[in-house]
Every structure is written in C-alpha cells, then in structure tokens.
Chains A and B, each alone.
Chain A
Amino acid sequence: MNAYVGTPTSRVDGRAKVTGSAKYAGEFTAAGLLQGFVVEATIPRGRIARLDTGEALKVKGVIDVFTHANRPQLADRDEAWKDEVAPEGSPFRPLYDETIKFNGQPIALVVAQDWETAKFAATLVRVDYEQQPFVTDLEAELGSAAELDKPHEPRGDAASALAKAAVRHEADYVIPTEHHNPMELYATTAVWEGDGRLTVYDKTQGVQNVHKFLCGVFDKNPDDIRVVSPYVGGAFGSGLRPQYQVVLATLAALALKRSVRVVLTRQQMYGLGYRPMTIEHVALGAAADGALDAVSHEAIAVSSRYEDFARNDAGWAEQLYRSSNSRSSHKLVHLDVSTPCDMRAPGAASGVCALECAMDELAVALKLDPVELRLKCYSDRDQSEDLPYSSKQLRECYARGADAFGWSKRNPEPRSMRDGKELVGWGMATGVWEALQMPVAARIVLTSNGHAEVSCAASDIGTGTYTIVAQVAADALGLPIENISVRLADSTLPQAPVEGGSWMAASSAHAVLAAAEDIRRELAALAKSMPGSPLGGVDATDVTLVDGTIAHNGEHSHSVSIADAMRHGGLERIEKEKLNRFDEDKSHARNTHSAVFAEVKVDEELGVVRVTRVVSAVAAGRILNTKTGRSQIMGSVVWGIGMALHEETVMDHRFGRIMNANIAEYHIPVNADVYDIDVIFVDERDDLINRLGVKGIGEIGIVGVPAAIANAVYHATGKRIRRFPITLDKLLD
C-alpha cells in the first residue's frame, strides 16, 4: 500500500522547526554550562614560539585556557583521528602541538562562565609565531601537480584521436574555492554526565562517525560517550567529518568535568572544509556530424599538505558520453591550507560544469544544437565500465525539459535574442550523479494502540529523512502517518553511516522496510493463530498490513485488527531491529541524471545578469516525497545559480588569508536573484536497484546548473566566461 510514499507529504518535523521547538546542537543546555571560544592562528604556516594565556586567565569568569602546552591526553596515532570518511593522510589534530598548518587553525580554547567573557578573554591571548614560507596559490603551483594513485585506465588513445578529429574544442575552466555556509553555525554542547561520561550534542551529518572518532581520540569506552544531533541546520557535506569544535568541547568537558559548549563564529567556519579550487582542462574531438571520438578531462585541485582530498571531477565524460577514446586524470597540488571536504555533489558540481561548458563550445563549433549533440553521443551503457544502467531516463529528461522550457524556439545565434536593453540567452547542460546505497539498520517498536516508533542513527540534515522514514513506515505498517514517531541521529540508535552521497533516502527507507517486514511476519503469525481467524488458512506471505489491520491481500473482509492480534498474543509491544544490506550487484551502473535549461537576461551595457528561468528535469528513480523532493532540487538550483554567478572564496596569497570570510562579502544568491524554477521529475522505473526503486536526490539537482547558466550567458552575449563565478566585470568589454 502506498498511501504516503510518492506523495507530497509535508515535513513531519516542519512544525517543530518553524515554532522553534526543534533543538539544535548549540541550544542544548545543562546545569553550570561553560562556554568556550576558539583562538585561531593568523598565519598559514609555522610554529607557535610563545603562547601567553596569563592575561586571559586573569579575567573574572575565565575558568581555563586550553592550548597545545596544557591540553589533556589526546590519541597519538593517525588511525584514531581518521573518521569514517577521512581521506588518505594524517588528519588535523586540534591543540595537538605547536605546528601551524593553516590560517584559522585553532590554537587555544578559552573556557569561561559565559560566552562574552570567553570571547573577550580570547583577545588577550598573546601569540608569537616562527613563520615559515608558505604557498596558498593553486595557479602559482601548477608545476607541482601530481596524480594520486595510478591513473585511470584510458580507453583507446585520446591524444591521437584528438589530433585527428574533424572538430576540436579544448579549454581550461576554473572553479574557485567555495564554502558551504550552512545557516546553522558549527556547535557542540558536551554535557558532563559524571564518572567520565558525556552526552555530546554536535552539529554533524553522522553521529556514529563522531562517536567512534571521539572514543578513539579520547580513549573512551563506547558507553562513556553518546553523540546526539536531532536537527541540523544545513551542512551540505561540511558536517561529514567531525569538525574541530567537537574535539575542543569534549576535551574541555572531560578536563574540567563540567558541561561545555563551543560554537564557532561564521568567520571561524571558513577555517573548516570547502569545495577545493580546481582547474579543469577539457578536450573534446568529434567527427563533423557531432559523433564524439575523443574525450580528455584533466582536473587539478587543491588539497592540504597533510591529507589527499580528491573526488571524481574528471571521470564523468568517460562514463556519460559515447566515445571510443577517452582519458581522465585528477591531480593534486598540496598547499598550506586546511583540507577541502565534500560539498554538494563533490567532484561532479565542478567537473561536470567544465565538461558541459565544453560540450556547449563543441556544439557551437559543430553548428549543432546543444541538445542534439548530447543525443548524438548518448549512451545507454556506462561507457567507463561498459555496463548497462539499472535505469537511465536521461533522454526523457532532455525531451521533457526542452519541451517545458520551449527550447525549440531558440535561435542558435549568440546575441540574437533580446528583451529591451537586455540580451536574452538560453543554455542547457546535462547533470549526472551516483545512486549509492549503504547498510543501514532501523528499529521499529509497534505498540498495541497502533502507534509505532521508528529509530535509526541516521541524520536529517534538513533534507527530509524524518519525513520519508515516517512515510515508508506508515505504508509498510498500514498506519496513518500521525501514528508514526521517528527518532534519528543518536549514536545509541541502530547503525547508520554519515548522511552524504545522496545515499540516505534509499538506505534508510529500506532499513525501515526490512524491520517492518519482520513486524508484519510476527503479526501475521499472531493473527493466523487466533481462534476462528479469517486468516487461518492463508499463506503468511499474502498477508499485508493495512488501515491498522492484518489483512489477506489487503482486503478488509479477511482481516484482524493489530490491537486484537497483539492482545491475543499478550503483547503490549513488538520490537524489531533489522540491518538492511543491499545486494553487491556489480552488473549494472547506477546513476541519476538531469537535463537543466536556463534563461538569462543580461543588461547589454552594464553586464548585470539575471537568471530568469530554470527548468530542471530529473530522472532519479522513484521520488519518495514529491514535495520535499522538489524543494531539494529547487535548493540545488539556487546553489547552482550561486556557483555560476556569485560564489568565490577570495584569498590574499601574500597572507594566505581568506578576505571575504563572512556572508556579507561571500555572496550567495538572495531572493532577488531567484526567479522561476520549474522542477520536473521524469518517471524512471527501476526494478533492479532496490525494492522501492529509489535513488536519492540530494546532489543531482546542482550538477549541470552552473554550466547551463554559463552557456546561456554565452548565448546571450557571445562571451565565453570560463573562470567562475561570472561576475559582471567579466562581461564588460
């Protein structure tokens, strides 16, 4: 029965959020709670020669100042500091020693009775550095770019195919460093529970990841620490790894045997992870009719000196488009900066942006319609692995998107369309992402009054996990959604990985289904065993749960109420916990796709760009909730507008410091920048991927959007801007 799955069900946590009863990590409190404020390094590389906390300690209300010199014991093995999504390398350890590895590195934690006192005392901490030479400029260091592992196995010989191609396009696209800027600040409230035990309220995308990490770093038994994160005000990847404030709050709470809260400032959050700047070199070669013959994509990205953060920027073309020759590589340049981290559609957001701009340029060179070019190289098989897809309705995305947008009315000539003083441009791009799924466990407790509590350690980072879990449970248990309560994001709940990679919707939904299946089985047995049961002779597999009853093939005439069956069995509650694992089926490629169409209007004289329309047609299997799903895609499109036109972390390489570390100067789109966004979910039935045919949509929505906008800007103005963001100065003559 699908009363809820696939419908536009409103968020079950919506009321709690808008009324303020939903509590976030920095809002939990405890008796005698202390407040910590972080002191940061102001140089990118060197050593702390002297750190004087004397003046700070004299301030009334200051309890202690923690530094590398007086910190409590912390693990000394990298393994302990490696969380479940840590890249290769030696993770950063806050307050570990006197080494400075990046600007904004925490070097002291002032703990005081109240936040204002801590913040004031932090200004009194005196630091002398021994500075060391540093480099933070990717473009100045391209010579040191090196490939991580062995290069990806090329297909054919791209170089010679390129040389021979009838039509070629080759260019560098530059994606700047970008920061996530979730609305909620990074925060941890570590509540001292006595006897060395803590409850840690943390802003994170993975409570069990943080739990394991803290136990390792502080050498604690699993029972000593509990990590809770019921609500997250956006994270977008920045909360996948434990951030340093959770270490600092825990360290202080354990040392002082008191509850401690540490909230970072917006500015301090620029010292955490970010989307790394990349230079994407794309070369495409095609026959005169547009058939691709060579694809080459080489990405050069920033990482820190202590970790190798690398994502798949360059491999998408190889997979997506039919071409007998292809190669890709991803190189890193290690700089004196903190390690980048995942940010919505990591790799693809940048790499596919470059690829899809390059495809547009190739279409222009071929005098082909950009959609037609993509259809010319369309592939029903994953080109890299030579596998069929579990489902791929990208063709339909192009068709439905183009139709809704009115693409057929496009005059291909740049600068050919206008509206008064504005040039009008229409551009499009393809989006692609992975459909991943992970082992997740869920517990369902069904009580005889027809209520069920579903619990799982998964986080809801604002994407709607509470809601889809409730929907799936309500359908599987045949109960109204009001009778389902959902508990998430507590490390003591059943197993879940970090919420990322767009895998949580499919993974948590199937965990709930699995646990519900056990409940159904038990209820069926109970119902069958009742004297005179209408289900007596019925095969248990034909029994479903519907409208609070246990019914034969969903029919009320042959049913027993759940309450009666449980009373018969003398049960007040039935509890089932189940870990769901997906088949390790490698026979099919699993991806989501999209086609994005954008209209821009560009003031011809002043270069001001408005993105007046975006149509995003998405094929991502079955959409569990069309309302929250639509919001996901809309939010992603807005972010794509930001990537195209606004977002850029500006660093002064003479100081190795970020110069726009605040949201007044680091621009993201505001309401005025967002006009019509039309989201189309293309039907995509997928019987292979999982029972529900679900793929996950957290990331696909941003991929392709910046390219569609850049291509529209080209179509409007005749100017090809390859260095993002496209600010108006780049469009003036």
Chain B
Amino acid sequence: MNNFQYSRATDVADAIRLLNSDPDAKLIAGGTNLIDLMKENVERPSRLIDISRLPLGKIEETAQGGLRIGALVPNSDLAYHPQVEQRYPLLASAILAGASAQLRNMASVAGNLMQRTRCAYFYDTATPCNKRSPGSGCSAVGGHNRNHAILGASPSCIATYPSDMCVALAALGALVHIAGPTGERRIALEDFHRLPGDTPHIDTNLGASEMIIAIELPPGGFSRNYSYLKVRDRLSYAFALISVAAALNLEGNAISEARLALGGVAHKPWRSLEAEQSLRGRAATADHFAHAADLLLQGASAASHNRFKIELARRAIVRTMMQAASAAPQSQAHKKIA
C-alpha cells in the first residue's frame, strides 16, 4: 500500500473539486473493493476522498413513479427496503446473491457500480495486465481464463465485470445520475460500463472528475414475473460463472415485455434488444426462451478454459426465464435451484 492523503468531502461539490484538483485521487465509499486493491498495490491513489458521510443515503420515489436511490445506500439496506422488496424484487434478489452479509452491509450502490474485475492477473502486480498497466499485455489470454468473458472481449482484455446488482439494474433499465464540474447528467446503466476494446484500463464512461450521486429505477419493476439465478463454484459467497436476470410482463401466457441480462460473461452486464424483442407476443415456453438465449449469446466466443460458459449461459437463461414465467423466482436463501 502506498502513502496517500486523506480528505473528507463536505458536500458533493467539494468532492468534485477535490477530484478535479488531483487526477490521481479516488473516492472512497464502503472501501470493500478499493482498499483490497490498494493492499495489493493495484490501486495507488495519491488521495482518498471520503464521501461516506455525504447525504446520499436516501431512497425516494420519483415524480414518474420510480425510485431514486442515493449513491451511498448500503447494498443490504437497498435489498431489504420495503419498496424494493415489493416493487423491484429482482434487484433485491440480485443484491442478496452477491458477496456476504458483512460485505453487503459495507458496500455502497455507487461502489458496486464501480467495482473492478476479479481477473487474477489484474490483482497480481508481478504479471502483465493491460487493464492495470496499459500496454503490458494480457496474461489471461494465454493463461487461466476459466471465468473470463465470452462476449464483447477484445484481444487486449477478456475480463468480466463481476457485479450482481448491476445485472438486475441493467435488466430494469436503470439510469445513473452523475455530478461533475459542469453540472449533473444522466446516463443509462447499460451505457455506463464500457467494452474493453483497446482501452481496457477504462472501465466506465464516468469522467475523471465526475461522481455517481444516484441510481434511478423506472416505474416498471416486473414484480410478478422475475428471477435472478447465479451459477457459481460454491453455493454462496463466490462470484458468478454465469448469472441471469430475467423479467417478464405476461398477459395470460403471452409475453408483452421481456428483459434479460447476463452477468459474468462480459466487461459489462450483457443485454440484447433483439433477444428481448424476439419474445414479445410469444408464449412463455422453453423453446422461445432458448431462441432468445441464442440471440443474446450471438457472437459468443470462448478463450482456452471457458468454453463451458457458453452452453451454461444458454441453459441458465432458459431456466431463469422459466422460473420468471412461472412466478417461482430463484430463492437466494435456499440454494437448490428451482
């Protein structure tokens, strides 16, 4: 860990001013990701700007009937908030599928959005990694890549983005509220994270002096027909090999709207309009879901150790969609997969 300055931001404007004045400064919220990375010398901020006491911890209804979630709401508070449990159970479920109770208590919503990949080479400063050290090469391509990307990867980087919460947020069509030196802006969660391309060191479209202040959920919460399924190497407390957020609006057995997002497969939560639209007006059957899965997985390609993820994703999609259609969502407490 390097030596760093520490400042406690007095308000959002102060935090942005501090960010603007020091390009190597970093915001710290729950610290559950940043401090780990600092201990490994992967992140070496010159200054930590502590935003944890800023008043960004509220969950409020929006004029449009959605929810606005402050950037500092702890993951567990969000998962157990009555409005979220009732209206956006997909989001609650995805959060509870992630990390451990202790971590969820500490982790903030914005920190979760900004968490970095778990690629082992990214964490090990003794190995080349384009994301950590641009231009040094990607060790994962010819190395251990069992849990790396099958979609949207580039020769420079095949890492995945590990968040569970954001898979649900992507499916729900959430917006990210951002504050910066020139004011506030909003960006769709789907456009928030970037594909690696030639610049894998840049994870998101957040500007250097910008910060997340809130997440906004649109009114439609798919509270009847939804499911979040996370397939992993042990039954809890492990990152996803594949995760699926599925949400449906049904009229009888016919699908009027479908949402489908994948986690653990790419540098960002993975959605495809084509796949979702293919389901519109169709019956909620395994065949139709399998077709949608094929559309979503179009262009999937494997690295040396992760070919299984393509077929696993296909099966997991169908399964999760069936859970959603039958209003029998995956329980995060009982690990048997329904």
Residues of chain A at the chain B interface (Cβ within 8 Å): 42, 116, 119-120, 123, 267, 421-422, 601, 603, 605-608, 610, 645-646, 650, 652, 654-655, 657, 659-660, 664-665, 667, 669-673, 727-729, 732-733
Contact = CB atoms under 8 A, between A and B. Distances in A.
Contacts of B231: 606, 608, 728
Given A670-B234, A671-B236, A650 B335 contact: no
A667 to B, nearest CB: 5
A673 B233 contact: no
Given A123-B1, A670-B236, A659 B121 contact: yes
A670 B237 contact: yes
B235 A610 contact: yes
B241 interface: yes
Contacts of A729: 146, 241, 308, 312
Nearest to A652: B143
Contacts of A671: 236
Contact of B336 (A605, A610, A660, A727): A610
B319 A606 contact: yes
A732 B234 contact: no
A120 B3 contact: yes
Interface in B217-255: 231, 233-238, 241
A732 B335 contact: no
Nearest to B236: A672
Contacts of A670: 234-237
B1 A120 contact: yes
B146 A665 contact: no
B120 interface: yes
Nearest to B306: A729
Residue picked from A667, A672, A673, most chain B C-beta under 10 Å: A672
B200 to A, nearest CB: 18
Given A610-B336, A670-B235, A671-B236, 19 more contacts: A267-B40, A421-B338, A422-B337, A601-B336, A606-B231, A646-B233, A650-B144, A652-B127, A659-B120, A659-B124, A659-B143, A670-B236, A672-B237, A672-B335, A673-B234, A727-B233, A728-B241, A732-B308, A732-B311
Given A123-B1, A657-B124, A665-B118, A606 B233 contact: no
Given A120-B3, A659-B120, A422 B336 contact: yes
A729 B40 CA distance: 30
Contacts of A665: 118, 120
A422 B143 CA distance: 33
B182 interface: no
B326 interface: no
A672 B234 contact: yes
17 contacts: A120-B1, A120-B3, A123-B1, A421-B337, A606-B315, A607-B312, A645-B234, A650-B144, A652-B144, A654-B142, A655-B126, A657-B124, A670-B234, A672-B335, A673-B235, A673-B236, A728-B233
Contacts of A119: 1
Nearest to B242: A606
B316 interface: yes
Contact of A42 (B121, B126, B241): B126
A657 B125 CA distance: 11
A560 to B, nearest CB: 58
A218 B241 CA distance: 50
Given A655-B127, A667-B238, A123 B2 contact: yes
Contacts of A603: 337
A665 B117 CA distance: 13
Interface string B26-53: 0000000000000011000000000000
B160 interface: no
Contact of B319 (A267, A605, A645, A669): A605
A652 B138 CA distance: 13
Nearest to A607: B312
Interface of B: 1-3, 40-41, 118, 120-121, 124, 126-127, 139, 142-144, 146, 231, 233-238, 241, 308, 311-312, 315-316, 319, 335-338
B2 A120 contact: yes
Nearest to B40: A267
A671 B236 CA distance: 8
Contacts of B2: 120, 123
Contacts of B316: 606
A727 B311 CA distance: 15
Contacts of A607: 312
A33 B40 CA distance: 25
A42 B235 CA distance: 33
A655 B231 CA distance: 30
Contacts of B120: 650, 659-660, 665
Contacts of A116: 1
A728 B146 CA distance: 12
Residue picked from B118, B124, B319, most chain A C-beta under 10 Å: B124
A123 B38 CA distance: 12
A116 B38 CA distance: 12
A654 B143 contact: yes
Nearest to B305: A729
Contacts of B139: 652, 654-655
A728 B238 CA distance: 14
A7 B273 CA distance: 66
A608 B337 CA distance: 8
Contacts of B146: 729
A42 B127 CA distance: 9
Given A650-B144, A655-B127, A610 B233 contact: no
B337 A606 contact: yes
Nearest to B335: A672
B337 A657 contact: no
Contacts of A657: 124, 126-127
A603 B237 CA distance: 19
Contacts of B241: 728-729
B311 A733 contact: yes
A267 B124 CA distance: 11
A332 to B, nearest CB: 25
A673 B146 CA distance: 21
Contact of A646 (B142, B234, B319, B337): B234
B233 A667 contact: yes
Q: Which 9 A-B pairs have the closest CB atoms?
A: A672-B236, A42-B126, A672-B235, A729-B308, A659-B120, A605-B315, A670-B237, A673-B235, A652-B143
A667 B118 CA distance: 14
Residue picked from B126, B142, B235, B241, most chain A C-beta under 10 Å: B235
A633 to B, nearest CB: 22
Contacts of A646: 233-234
Nearest to A662: B123
A134 B22 CA distance: 43
A139 to B, nearest CB: 15
Contacts of B144: 650, 652, 659
Contacts of B121: 659
Contacts of A601: 336
A665 B1 CA distance: 21
B331 to A, nearest CB: 12
Contacts of A267: 40
Contacts of A667: 233-234, 238
A203 B336 CA distance: 40
Contacts of A672: 234-237, 335
